[in-house]
A = this chain, B = another copy of it.
Amino acid sequence: MPIIHVYAFERSLEQKREIAQGITEVTCKAYDVSPEIVTVYIFDVPKENAAHAGVLASEAEGKP
């Protein structure tokens, strides 16, 4: 019963659909399990709640 957590900035419904489907396929193939026992949970992390190199993503110039 593999469970996969995805932590990332919020994405569109289309992107969530694509990553959930893709990760499930990859998991089934790599771990030789059936999709029925694979669960994917996506956590939308606001940019002000994520920091890279000590700087909040909401305040960084680049696009990490």
Residues of A at under 8 Å CB distance from B?
A: 1-8, 11, 13, 15-27, 29-32, 35-45, 48-59, 64
Contacts and interface: CB of A to CB of B under 8 A. Distances in A.
Contact of A50 (B15, B41, B49): B41
A18 to B, nearest CB: 4
A40 B31 contact: no
A55 B37 CA distance: 12
B31 A8 contact: yes
A25 B53 CA distance: 9
B24 A19 contact: no
A39 to B, nearest CB: 6
A6 to B, nearest CB: 5
